[in-house]
Amino acid sequence: MAEATEFTLRLRRYDPESGDAAYWDEHTIELEPHRSVLEGILQAKARFDGSIGIRCSCRAAICGSCGVRVNGQPGLACHTHLDAALASSRDGVIEVEPMGNMPVIKDLIVDMDAVHWKKIARVTPWLINKEPIPEREYIVDREAMVDVTQSMACIQCGACVSDCLSMEVDPLFVGPAASAKAYRFVGDPRDDQQRERLTDLAQDPHGIYTCTHCFKCIDACPKGVAPMSQIMRLRRRAGSDHHIDDRNNGHRHEASFVTLIKGYGLLHEAELLPRSYGGDSWFGKFHPKAGKVLMSSLPAITKAVMRGKVKPKTALLGHKIPKDDLKSVQRIYDKVAARDQRLELNLYITGYDEDVDGAGTAPAAATSGAAQTGADSGQPGQSPEGSPSR
């Protein structure tokens, strides 16, 4: 059995009611290296300072109560081993701070009601069943349930919310956790309001098109929910399946992006803006909406040209890449277009299960022949670890 070792914790302390500024507080604890950061904090609280504020319950990565930042990375204190935390520390001291994007109630406890739960409530987080209700149970395709399993794994810890860059800029953004929750029902064939839910999230100026694909929520999530992938699924359903023409120009922007890469092999930035507003074709720039946005961007464009950041020729004609390279890019498009149906990758199910013999050699459960699409780049090997279904 591993021997108890000394670890120094540097805890962020703050009591808004005191009127004092936040400060760092250090305590040295003694525990086996495989024990968790949460256990370390609880030992410091028991031995040295009972006023340390930390929220926890299950201590087993199930309840989602103990979200914090350890050495700047959001996650669960009970799911972070002391030795791993020490290895990722800057100076041999394990730094623990409250999560971001939420107000601090005390020390490491943030106000989840003020941000996280409000956003969850905003997406109508329950099933609105189809009528008529069957006499017995609803029969649902296995594939459809597999599709929503990943979002069902969420334990509402708020780690993804903590470091969402878009939410930092736009606090009204619906955010990663609530978007994943929304997909839980949009992807459920028993739900009767899928189009309404999608319209709501697509038309909201702080909805699904506010995400900037920074991947932070994917990195942060201790349960492999990959909230950004759920947002991409919502977008595909809204724009491609339900043809929702959102007032945020979100779907048009995505479509233009795809068309331009196909045509030029690289992004033609000068075309992207007018097409996103005016429509996905060369004529898009003549649409009044495109004219308006081009006019308003003129000072920025002129500045970029004058500073040499943009060459007028490239701005007008776009980038050129070798013909063979362009053909290779276009072959990818052809391959995707040749598929009979869009298949969503759900690595929560199809990824490698670390707990099964022969780990890393075979998919845990090959589901519907899932293939990777678009931004669905989740994390292989991130197994469910006993998450409850929600």
| Bridge partners (DSSP) listed for residue 244 | none
Could you tell me the smallest distance in angstroms from the CB atom of residue 333 to ligand FES? 43
Chain residues in the site for ligand FES (CB under 6 A): 56-59, 61-66, 76, 78
Could you tell me the smallest distance in angstroms from the CB atom of residue 194 to ligand FES? 31
- The strand pair at 67-70 and 94-97 is best described as antiparallel
Chain residues in the site for ligand SF4 (CB under 6 A): 154-160, 164-166, 176-177, 180, 211-217, 220-221, 223, 225, 227-228, 231
CB closer to ligand FES, 59 vs 289: 59
For the chain, give the number of residues: 390
Could you tell me the smallest distance in angstroms from the CB atom of residue 58 to ligand FES? 4
**Helix and strand counts by DSSP (H, E) for the chain:** 16, 7
Q: Are 353 and 364 in contact (CB under 8 A)?
A: yes
CB closer to ligand SF4, 68 vs 154: 154
- DSSP code for 209: G
Could you tell me the smallest distance in angstroms from the CB atom of residue 112 to ligand FES? 13
The one of ligand FES, ligand SF4, none whose footprint includes residue 166, by CB under 5 to 8 A per kind, is ligand SF4
Could you tell me the smallest distance in angstroms from the CB atom of residue 108 to ligand SF4? 16
Could you tell me the smallest distance in angstroms from the CB atom of residue 240 to ligand SF4? 19
First to last CA, the chain: 36
CB closer to ligand FES, 59 vs 81: 59
CB closer to ligand FES, 96 vs 364: 96
CB closer to ligand SF4, 29 vs 108: 108
Q: What single string gives the DSSP state of each residue in 33-46?
A: TTSBHHHHHHHHHH
Could you tell me the smallest distance in angstroms from the CB atom of residue 247 to ligand SF4? 20
The one of ligand FES, ligand SF4, none whose footprint includes residue 57, by CB under 5 to 8 A per kind, is ligand FES
CB closer to ligand FES, 64 vs 98: 64
CA count, 13 A, side-chain hemisphere, 280: 16
- DSSP code for 191: B
Which residue type does 388 have? P
Could you tell me the smallest distance in angstroms from the CB atom of residue 99 to ligand FES? 13
SS3 233: helix
Instruction: Give the whole-angstrom CA distance, residue 249 versus residue 276.
Output: 6
The one of ligand FES, ligand SF4, none whose footprint includes residue 227, by CB under 5 to 8 A per kind, is ligand SF4
The one of ligand FES, ligand SF4, none whose footprint includes residue 62, by CB under 5 to 8 A per kind, is ligand FES
The one of ligand SF4, ligand FES, none whose footprint includes residue 66, by CB under 5 to 8 A per kind, is ligand FES
Could you tell me the smallest distance in angstroms from the CB atom of residue 318 to ligand SF4? 28
The one of ligand SF4, ligand FES, none whose footprint includes residue 31, by CB under 5 to 8 A per kind, is none
Instruction: Give the whole-angstrom CA distance, residue 252 versus residue 294.
Output: 16
Q: Which long-range contacts (CB under 8 A, 24 or more apart) does 81-85 make?
A: 81/33, 81/34, 81/35, 81/36, 81/37, 82/5, 82/7, 82/31, 82/32, 82/33, 82/34, 82/35, 82/36, 82/37, 82/39, 82/40, 83/33, 83/34, 85/7, 85/37
The one of ligand FES, ligand SF4, none whose footprint includes residue 212, by CB under 5 to 8 A per kind, is ligand SF4
Cα 23 to chain centroid distance, Å, stands at: 30
Instruction: Give the whole-angstrom CA distance, residue 137 versus residue 358.
Output: 37
The 10 Å Cβ neighbour count of residue 153 is 24
The one of ligand FES, ligand SF4, none whose footprint includes residue 65, by CB under 5 to 8 A per kind, is ligand FES
The one of ligand SF4, ligand FES, none whose footprint includes residue 118, by CB under 5 to 8 A per kind, is none
